[in-house]
């Protein structure tokens, strides 16, 4: 997934009210940018952090910059825009890059299922012998131990509900897939942060004992594009 507008570097002054960030551009001007991440962004929002933002000229948008990347200044990046996760995965699904999901011919987003829920992607195949696949995407940005990606970074009641809905799908004989997209380039393994959200951690362990498929992929990131990279250890 290529960014529509070339990103420009900046420095973070502060992130506040979840969706706002005061930043300093290279010319020294200070502006407020949109922060497209509802999570805690633990470890990613320290003042002075180098970031990359996307400018826009859309008169309908009050904020003219959108925060997209954290630059760790060691060759690695983290993508903080949770909205982009589905777009990144969709491109990979269409390109048949996700092993095990490359047999499907149709990819439908935001299909209603469960109780007042929408699955991120419903995959179907022309063959009657292949069950539909319900794919739920979770964007991962947390790393507290070197090389270990973790989810969630805060208590997630919505995420817990999705786990329960996937469990019901599996019991109906459908493929239930929980795909964690690690929007970081510096991780080799993944774990659930049960200390941050014990309820989610408990439900996740129960899910692993059922017929739920869990996939974890990292990303290749740059100020130009974000793409699915490789599978991570669970």
pLDDT in tens, 151-206: 999 999 999 999 999 998 888 888 999 999 999 999 999 999 999 999 999 999 98
pLDDT given for residue 172 in this prediction:
86
- Mean pLDDT over each residue of the chain, to the nearest integer: 94
Average pLDDT over every residue of 28-45 = 96
Tell me, yes or no, whether 106 lies in a domain: yes
pLDDT given for residue 209 in this prediction:
81
pLDDT given for residue 155 in this prediction:
95
Residue 129: pLDDT over 90: no
124 & 214 share domain? yes
Helix (H, G, I), strand (E, B) or coil at 202: helix
Give me the CATH number covering residue 163: 3.40.1350.60
The partner residues of 79 in beta bridges, in order of sequence, read 69
Crossing angle, helix 198-208 and helix 157-171, to 10 degrees?
20
Q: Which of 22, 46, 79 is the last residue of a domain?
A: 79
Q: Which of 28, 60, 79 is the last residue of a domain?
A: 79
Number of CB atoms found within 10 A of residue 208's CB: 13
pLDDT given for residue 7 in this prediction:
98
Whole-angstrom distance, CA of residue 210 vs CA of residue 203: 11
Residue 106: pLDDT over 90: yes
pLDDT given for residue 115 in this prediction:
74
Where does the pLDDT of residue 130 fall: very low under 50, low under 70, confident under 90, or very high at 90 and above? confident
- Find the helix or strand (DSSP H, E) in which 149 lies: strand 148-151
69 & 91 share domain? no
Our CA angle for 224, 230, 234, nearest 5°, is 130
Tell me, yes or no, whether 2 lies in a domain: no
68 & 170 share domain? no
Collect all residues with Cβ–Cβ distance below 8 Å to 116 and sequence separation of at least 6: none
pLDDT digits (tens, 9 = 90+) for 38-92: 999 999 999 999 999 999 988 888 999 999 999 999 999 999 999 999 999 999 9
């Amino acid at each position: 997934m290529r960014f529509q507008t070339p990103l420009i570097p900046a420095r973070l002054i502060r992130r506040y009210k979840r969706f706002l960030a005061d930043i300093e551009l290279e010319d020294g001007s200070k502006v407020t940018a949109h922060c497209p991440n509802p999570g805690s962004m633990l470890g990613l929002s320290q003042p002075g952090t180098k970031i990359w933002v996307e400018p826009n000229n859309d008169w309908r948008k009050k904020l003219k910059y959108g925060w997209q990347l954290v630059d760790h200044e060691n060759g690695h990046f983290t993508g903080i825009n949770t909205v982009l996760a589905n777009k990144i995965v969709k491109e990979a699904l269409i390109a048949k890059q996700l092993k095990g999901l490359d047999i499907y011919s149709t990819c439908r987003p935001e299909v209603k299922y469960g109780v007042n829920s929408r699955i991120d992607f419903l995959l179907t195949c022309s063959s009657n012998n292949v069950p539909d696949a319900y794919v739920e995407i979770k964007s991962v940005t947390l790393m507290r131990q070197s090389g270990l990606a973790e989810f969630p970074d805060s208590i997630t009641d919505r995420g817990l509900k999705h786990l329960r809905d996937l469990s019901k799908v599996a019991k109906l004989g459908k493929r239930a897939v929980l795909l964690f997209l690690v929007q970081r380039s510096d991780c080799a393994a993944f774990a659930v942060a049960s200390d941050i959200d014990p309820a989610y951690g408990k439900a996740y362990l129960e899910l692993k004992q059922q017929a739920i498929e869990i996939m974890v992929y990292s990303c290749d990131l740059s100020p130009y594009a974000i793409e699915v990279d490789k599978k991570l250890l669970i």
